[in-house]
């Protein structure tokens, strides 16, 4: 399973390294989204710094939708999905591999967005390890749920419109928890408040990773 | 494409042989419907006239608000636990290869649809209660938020079902989405314990299983739960029957239409006897 995970993740990341879609389109989209939020909230910095945690995670969520769509579409042509199923790779490894590739891209993206939030919104980070923990845990959860829903919607003609509708509500706990942890980590927050939300993220990740490992094979058959 | 394959398999379209279509089954559904209506009427009578207003506030507007307790928890119970819980169990049984049958798929679909209606009623009755007690129609509190998320998740389930697909694939896909969404149900149930929320804790299904309500109010509450459960069962059965008929029509629409046209021709030949 782990070998298959590495193989699949390597494949997806190699495609990304050669096509640069996430780097040249998804990451800039995230920055554009941050800029749009700034326009919407006006020139005053106070509401922006106040809303920075939520806006960061909303931007991450939107970018996750794009990253997942990309992760699905690289296998949409030339019967690549059937090829993967025939290859004898463990479905659990396939799931973990695709999720890991999405997660790796999201981590880079979150770095860019964090810098963006600090520069554009004037957010000041007081407790860096909380930011790091929320990003790592949130990314795992988003990648796991995103990959699951990506596989579910893979064969559908309406996948572009359906995926955000199905995925965003399922990912809402990550948005909620991530935002609260960020609020606790920025200046003026209380780091101790982050505890329950970190636990929520851990449970969320564990549940959806476990679900994915168990059901990814059958999901592929239904797509 | 599926219509073409299934159409030929049933040459004599006879609706009465389908599940829940026999006159006995229809009468059972009708009786459940009538008892549900009686139960609701009883709840309204007990809730509005027999039970006392809130002890501390007397017969005032806030004192009478407590009567919402005979609607809101019952509706929420049906939506969150009965309907969505049943949908999750049915989806699981569909996915389990040994128990796989379209029965579970249709049951899950029917349960979700009825559950969504009850979920909306939960949010509306909760808002009506929230405005005078909390001062707002809506608070971004853990329980409220999770209940709203649950609604959106199951709306997504319904959207997924509407996408034309082969019945087997649609059933499988929907079952997965239902299971993923159902993860939210236990979180919603325990949210009042895990987070500091505005919403009060469980009155009946609390961790000690000792209801914190007594007397005629407890009886009325119990009757409201039974009545709303009956309403749910009735709606579920009716929706299931519609689902069966819908699937049947998908498979036999052309046959029925052809037969009707042919009989028109025959009727015209014999001098318009029809």
Report CB contact under 8 Å: A172, B149: yes
CA–CA gap between residue B181 and residue B207 (Å, rounded): 24
In a domain, B239, yes or no: yes
B267 belongs to a structural domain: no
What does the pLDDT look like over A58-70, one tens digit per residue? 999 999 999 998 8
Task: Say yes or no to pLDDT of A126 above 70.
Answer: yes
Backbone angles phi, psi at B20, to 5 degrees: 65, 15
By CA distance, what is A165's nearest residue in B?
A: B156
Number of domains composing chain B: 1
Q: Closest residue of B to A171, CA-based?
A: B149
Q: Which residues of chain B have pLDDT under 50?
A: 1-11, 274
Q: Between chains, do A207 and B183 touch, taking CB under 8 Å as contact?
A: yes
Cβ contacts below 8 Å, chain A against chain B, sum to: 56
Q: Measured between beta carbons, which residues in chain B are less than 8 angstroms from residue A149?
A: 180
Q: For the ranges A127-136, A210-219, B182-191, which has the lowest average pLDDT? A: B182-191
What residues contact residue B12 under an 8 Å CB cut-off, 6+ apart? Answer: none
Q: Rounded CA gap, A50 and A186, in Å? A: 9
Instruction: Write the pLDDT tens digit of every residue in B40-80.
Output: 998 888 888 877 777 666 667 677 777 888 888 888 888 88
What CA–CA distance (Å, rounded) separates B217 from B225?
12
A81: pLDDT strictly greater than 90: no
Range A201-207 average pLDDT: 90
CA distance B266 to B269: 5
Phi and psi angles of residue B212, each rounded to the nearest 5 degrees, phi first:
-100, 45
The stretches of B46-183 forming alpha helices (DSSP H) are 61-65, 72-76, 84-95, 102-134, 142-162, 167-182
Place of tokens 């794009």: A66
- Chain B residues whose beta carbon lies within 8 Å of the beta carbon of residue A170: 153, 180-181
Residue B272 lies in a domain: no
Domain range enclosing B200 = 69-216+228-250
CA A162 to chain CA mean position, Å: 17
CA closest to B196 among chain A residues? A196
Distance to chain B for A165, nearest Cα, Å: 6
* Nearest-angstrom CA–CA distance, A91 and A81: 12
What pLDDT score was predicted for residue B204? 59
Is there a contact between B10 and B252 (Cβ–Cβ < 8 Å)? yes
Contact B172, A222 (CB under 8 A): yes
Inside any domain, residue B38: no
If you measure CA to CA, which chain A residue comes closest to B147? A169
- The residues spanned by each domain of chain A are 2-222
What's the average model confidence in pLDDT over A66-92?
A: 82
CA A177 to chain B, closest CA, distance in angstroms equals 11
Q: What pTM value is reported for the model?
A: 0.83
Does residue B232 sit in helix, strand or coil? helix
Q: What is the pLDDT of residue B58?
A: 66
Task: Judge: B163–A165 Cβ closer than 8 Å, yes or no.
Answer: no
B159·A169 Cβ contact <8 A: no
Chain B environment of A159 (Cβ under 8 Å): none
**Residue B184: inside a domain:** yes
- Please, which residues have CB within 8 angstroms of residue B254's CB and are 6 or more apart in sequence? B3, B7
**Chain B residues touching A162 at Cβ < 8 A:** 156, 159-160, 163
Phi-psi region of B246 (alpha: psi -120 to 50; beta: other; left: phi over 0): alpha
Closest partner CB to B156 (pick from A166, A207, A222)? A166
Residue A11 has pLDDT above 50, yes or no: yes
Q: CB A215 to CB B169 under 8 A?
A: no
Percentage of chain A lying above the pLDDT 70 cut:
100
CA distance A114 to A138: 14
Q: In this complex, do B95 and A170 lie within 8 Å of one another by their Cβ atoms?
A: no
Cβ contact A196–B95 (<8 Å) = no
Secondary structure of chain A as H, E, C letters: CHHHHHHHHHHHHHHHHHHCHHHHHHHHHHHHHHHHHHHHHCCCHHHHHHHHHHHHHHHHHHHHHHHHHHHHHCCCCCCHHHHHHHCCCCHHHHHHHHHHHHHHHHHHHHHHHHHHHHHHHCCCECCHHHHHHHHHHHHHHHHHHHHHHHHHHCCCCCHHHHHHHHHHHHHHHHHHHHHHHHHHHECCCCHHHHHHHHHHHHHHHHHHHHHHHHHHHHHHHHC
Instruction: Kindly list the residues from chain B whose CB atom is less than 8 angstroms away from the CB atom of residue A152.
Output: 173, 176-177
Per-residue pLDDT for A189 more than 60?
A: yes
Q: What would the pLDDT profile of A95-119 be if each residue is shown by its tens digit?
A: 898 899 999 999 999 999 998 888 8
Q: Which residue of B has its CA nearest to A146?
A: B180
- Partner-chain contact B183 A172, CB within 8 Å: no
Chain B closest-CA separation from residue A17 CA (Å): 32
Residue A87 above 70 pLDDT?
yes
Taking contacts as CB-CB distances below 8 angstroms, the residues of chain B near A207 are 183
Do B95 and A223 count as a contact with CB atoms less than 8 A apart? no
């Amino acid at each position: 399973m782990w070998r298959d995970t590495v193989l699949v993740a390597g494949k997806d990341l190699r495609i990304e390294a050669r096509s640069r879609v996430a780097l040249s389109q998804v990451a800039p989209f995230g920055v554009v989204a941050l800029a749009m939020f700034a326009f919407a909230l006006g020139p005053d910095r106070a509401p922006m710094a106040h809303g920075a945690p939520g806006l960061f995670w909303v931007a991450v969520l939107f970018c996750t939708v794009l990253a997942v769509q990309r992760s699905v579409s690289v296998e949409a042509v030339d019967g690549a999905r059937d090829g993967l199923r025939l290859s004898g790779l463990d479905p659990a490894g396939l799931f973990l591999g695709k999720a890991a590739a999405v997660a790796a891209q999201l981590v880079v993206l979150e770095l860019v967005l964090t810098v963006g939030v600090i520069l554009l919104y004037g957010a000041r980070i007081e407790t860096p390890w909380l930011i790091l923990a929320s990003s790592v845990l949130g990314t795992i959860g988003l990648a796991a749920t995103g990959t699951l829903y990506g596989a579910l919607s893979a064969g559908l003609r309406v996948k572009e419109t359906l995926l955000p509708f199905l995925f965003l509500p399922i990912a809402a706990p990550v948005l909620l928890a991530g935002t609260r942890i960020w609020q606790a980590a920025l200046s003026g927050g209380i780091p101790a408040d982050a505890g329950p939300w970190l636990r929520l993220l851990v449970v969320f990740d564990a549940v959806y990773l476990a679900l994915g490992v168990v059901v990814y094979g059958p999901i592929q058959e239904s797509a | 494409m599926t219509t073409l394959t299934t159409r030929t398999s049933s040459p004599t379209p006879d609706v009465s042989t389908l599940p829940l279509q026999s006159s006995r089954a229809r009468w059972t559904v009708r009786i459940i419907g009538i008892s549900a209506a009686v139960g609701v009427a009883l709840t309204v009578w007990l809730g509005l006239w027999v039970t006392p207003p809130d002890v501390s506030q007397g017969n005032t507007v806030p004192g009478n608000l407590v009567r919402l307790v005979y609607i809101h928890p019952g509706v929420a119970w049906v939506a969150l636990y009965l309907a969505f819980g049943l949908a999750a169990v049915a989806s699981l049984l569909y996915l389990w290869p040994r128990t796989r049958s379209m029965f579970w798929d249709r049951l899950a679909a029917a349960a979700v649809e009825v559950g969504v209606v009850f979920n909306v009623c939960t949010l509306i009755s909760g808002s009506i209660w929230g405005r005078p007690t909390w001062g707002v129609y809506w608070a971004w509190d853990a329980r409220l938020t999770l209940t709203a998320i649950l609604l959106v998740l199951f709306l997504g389930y319904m959207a997924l079902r509407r996408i034309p697909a082969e019945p087997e694939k649609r059933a499988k896909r929907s079952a997965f989405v239902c299971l993923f969404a159902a993860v939210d149900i236990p979180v919603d149930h325990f949210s009042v314990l895990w987070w500091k929320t505005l919403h009060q804790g469980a009155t009946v299904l609390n961790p000690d299983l000792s209801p914190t309500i007594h007397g005629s109010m407890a009886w009325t509450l119990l009757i409201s739960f039974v009545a709303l459960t009956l309403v749910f069962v009735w709606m579920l059965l009716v929706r299931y029957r519609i689902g069966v008929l819908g699937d049947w029509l998908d498979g036999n629409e052309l046959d029925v239409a052809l037969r009707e046209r042919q009989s028109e021709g025959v009727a015209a030949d014999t001098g318009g006897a029809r």
